Structure 1
Amino acid sequence: MSISSTSTSRVPNIWYTLTSSIYVNQNATSSRTSRTMQPHVQAAKTALQESRKATTTDDTTPELCVPYGSLRSPSSNLRVNKWDALILDSEILGLLKTPMKSMFSMFEPGVVDRIKPEIDALLGILLFAFSTGLGRPTPGMKLENIRYAPHLLTRRRVGAFFLLSVGVPYVWKRLFRYLSSARWTARGAAAGNDTSDNGQNSREQVLAVMKKLETLVITCQFVNLLVFLRKGTYRSLPERCLGMKMESIAPSTAPRSINFEYMTRQLLWDGLMEFGNFMLPFLTWSSLHTSAALQGRSSSLDARSSQCCLCGISPPQTPYITSCKHVYCYYCLQTAVATEDDFACVACGVRFDSSQRLRA
């Protein structure tokens, strides 16, 4: 009984020691991990606190906003199309001017130059009336798939746009030509010396003011061009003054394909033209040298063939040219050879071997 009691009493003691050692080891490892993880936890806590403070303080500061609306607007990426449309319209007007000017080819010289402002205004009126006046795009805009925004084409705005783009340039050109012509001076001189001086002074003053205004307008056009290249909204001053914005006729999501065929052809022709301009002086010099030599030979031949070396008649009757390049009448030459066996050329003294008919 004693042996069994002692064995049973030892079992709980062993179990107690094992559990206590395991608990001690767990506490030691947990303390170690807590010590090792404590810097990381502190760093995370400080970062979280700083982020909370930043969010509370940044509520009053403006946020960074990307203008996606302006990037998606149809007029933000059409500056190339707009400028190409303007160039195409000007080229179309230039093509229409050619037959218009040929209509006055039978008139006296200078008629086309005198009515040039009227021709430009008439073509501008026709182009405007059948395009923007009807709410339609111009031919250049149609080719570039752009147009003026329909809600902007009101009657007042279209009328003002017509005056600024067609009417004002015509009046300006005609007035400037009228003041620059000699009629003003001639009328003043016919009326008298005092009136001519007053008219001359007033004309010079008006022309000076117009030149200053023209310089100002050209400067504004240059500034508008720089702004257009930066933002791509308004091509000209009338469009900017009236707010005539453009948009795509049929917007497409596909990327625009660029065709370099025309550019390659243009570069090729430019290279050929430059090469031709470089070689033209050499070709001209050689042709001039050859023509001068031929002209000298022909002039000497003409001088020789102008009269007979024996009788002196001009032109020789039935001319024959000898091997020494001198001309005789057939009768004179045959008579001289028949009468003298050792006949030598009268002009050069050389005894020729043969002769032949001189053809014109």
Structure 2
Amino acid sequence: MISKERYVPRVTQFDAVELDDEIVKILKNQVVNTVKFLGFGFFGRWEPEVDALLRFIIWKLSVNKVYGTFGQQLLNVRYGGEFNKNKAYLFAILTVGTRYLKQRSHEIATVTRNPSLSEKIKLFFHWADITFQLANLVNLLVFLTEGKHPTLVDRILGLQPVSVAPPGEDRTVGYSYMTRELLWHGLIELSIFAVPLVNYHALKRRIANLFLWRKKDIGSRAVVFRIGNKCAECNETPVLPHHMGCSHVFCFYCIKANHLADEKYECPLCGFSAKDAASITPLCLKS
């Protein structure tokens, strides 16, 4: 039986479970952002394997190493009692393995060529999932009553979280993580408010004028558009070719978008500046 000094309140045990789920979600989002350019459907095809790998790494660095999940460590909690390596391996099987089998249940059922056996496997996974959900609900109700085993896996393995905080500090509320989150969210909100106020195009033009010593055109020139011309902004074949008075050609979108963003937009090749929108005129192809 856990001594009173090492008892972990229900809310702390719940918070530890929620923190563990958030850690997995954050890591998975980072993986999604990393592989999103590898092609359509790449992550969706291997999502169960990626999820299992992330959960295995988290288990390896937390439960298998220090006998406590990352969420528990943040709250000065770990698994006490007779927790050992064997229970740590069973913990990995029940949390990582069963979730992976559930995610791949359809593929497992379709491996066999026997339709009747395939339907039986699908029915088995279906009822196993329903049974698991009902068992989780019953475990939650029991946990709210007795304050032990916040998850079904903890109850199956007989795991009980205990406090590892110094005596007398078990119920001390720590605000270090909360303060860091508040500061971070405040910085994000400030950035969201301030960044749109900065005229990036005008700032880029001024920096270019400081560091790029180029001779600027001071007067307009006649320009003839031919097949070999490239847009001075995107260096591609101009779409709806226009010019603004210098000897270079622009796509209509390139010159118009930049002029709307910066009224003093300058040609990136010669530094000629359009005085107003009227100076932006279309061109015709010449042989």
* TM-score (normalizing by structure 2): 0.55
Query: CA separation in 2, counterparts of 1:87 and 1:221?
Result: 15
Superposition deviation, residue 258 in structure 1: 8.7
Number of positions where the alignment pairs a residue of Structure 1 with one of Structure 2? 181
Query: Does structure 1 residue 229 correspond to structure 2 residue 144?
Result: yes
> Structure 1 segments of 4 or more deviating over 6 A?
none
CA distance 1:73–1:216, shift in 2 (3 Å): farther
Superposition deviation, residue 214 in structure 1: 0.9
- Contact 2:12 2:75 (C-alpha < 8 Å) held by counterparts: yes
**How big is each residue's C-alpha offset from its partner over 1:133-168, in whole Å with a ceiling of 9 and x where there is no partner?**
11343221111111111x422222221111111122
**How big is each residue's C-alpha offset from its partner over 1:2-32, in whole Å with a ceiling of 9 and x where there is no partner?**
xxxxxxxxxxxxxxxxxxxxxxxxxxxxxxx
- Contact 1:147 1:246 (C-alpha < 8 Å) held by counterparts: yes
**How big is each residue's C-alpha offset from its partner over 1:108-154, in whole Å with a ceiling of 9 and x where there is no partner?**
311211111111111111111011111343221111111111x4222
- Contact 2:76 2:165 (C-alpha < 8 Å) held by counterparts: yes
Partner of 2:4: 72
Partner of 2:17: 86
Task: Specify the code of the residue in structure 2 equivalent to 1:242.
Answer: L
Query: Does structure 1 residue 128 correspond to structure 2 residue 43?
Result: no
- Contact 1:135 1:153 (C-alpha < 8 Å) held by counterparts: no
Within-5 A mapping of 1:19-98: 72=4, 74-75=6-7, 77-98=8-29
The match for 1:203 among 118, 122, 140 is: 118
Query: CA separation in 2, counterparts of 1:90 and 1:70?
Result: 26
Superposition deviation, residue 97 in structure 1: 0.8
User: CA-atom RMSD, angstroms?
Assistant: 3.0
The match for 2:75 among 124, 134, 144 is: 144
Unaligned runs of 5+ residues in structure 2 are 183-277, 282-287
CA distance 1:100–1:205, shift in 2 (3 Å): same
CA distance 1:88–1:206, shift in 2 (3 Å): same
- SS for the counterpart of 1:247 is strand
Query: CA separation in 2, counterparts of 1:218 and 1:136?
Result: 26
Does 1 or 2 have the higher relative contact order (CA < 8 Å, sep 6+)?
A: 2
Query: CA separation in 1, counterparts of 2:131 and 2:123?
Result: 12
Greater percentage in helix: 1
Partner of 1:249: 164
Partner of 1:333: none
The match for 1:166 among 91, 96, 103 is: 96
CA distance 1:252–1:200, shift in 2 (3 Å): same
Partner of 1:153: 83
Task: Specify the code of the residue in structure 1 equivalent to 2:94.
Answer: L
- Contact 1:132 1:138 (C-alpha < 8 Å) held by counterparts: yes
CA distance 1:204–1:159, shift in 2 (3 Å): same
Unaligned runs of 5+ residues in structure 1 are 1-68, 189-198, 267-358
Partner of 1:99: 30
Query: CA separation in 1, counterparts of 2:141 and 2:3?
Result: 20
Task: Specify the code of the residue in structure 2 equivalent to 1:163.
Answer: I
- Contact 1:89 1:138 (C-alpha < 8 Å) held by counterparts: yes
- SS for the counterpart of 1:235 is coil
Task: Specify the code of the residue in structure 1 equivalent to 2:86.
Answer: R
CA distance 1:91–1:238, shift in 2 (3 Å): same
- Contact 2:5 2:168 (C-alpha < 8 Å) held by counterparts: no
Query: CA separation in 2, counterparts of 1:98 and 1:138?
Result: 20
- SS for the counterpart of 1:92 is helix
Superposition deviation, residue 103 in structure 1: 3.0
Partner of 1:118: 49
Partner of 1:292: none
Query: CA separation in 1, counterparts of 2:3 and 2:162?
Result: 13
Within-5 A mapping of 1:266-285: none
* TM-score (normalizing by structure 1): 0.45
- Contact 2:95 2:153 (C-alpha < 8 Å) held by counterparts: yes
- Contact 1:161 1:238 (C-alpha < 8 Å) held by counterparts: yes
**How big is each residue's C-alpha offset from its partner over 1:10-68, in whole Å with a ceiling of 9 and x where there is no partner?**
xxxxxxxxxxxxxxxxxxxxxxxxxxxxxxxxxxxxxxxxxxxxxxxxxxxxxxxxxxx
CA distance 1:222–1:73, shift in 2 (3 Å): farther
- SS for the counterpart of 2:36 is coil
Query: CA separation in 2, counterparts of 1:243 and 1:88?
Result: 21
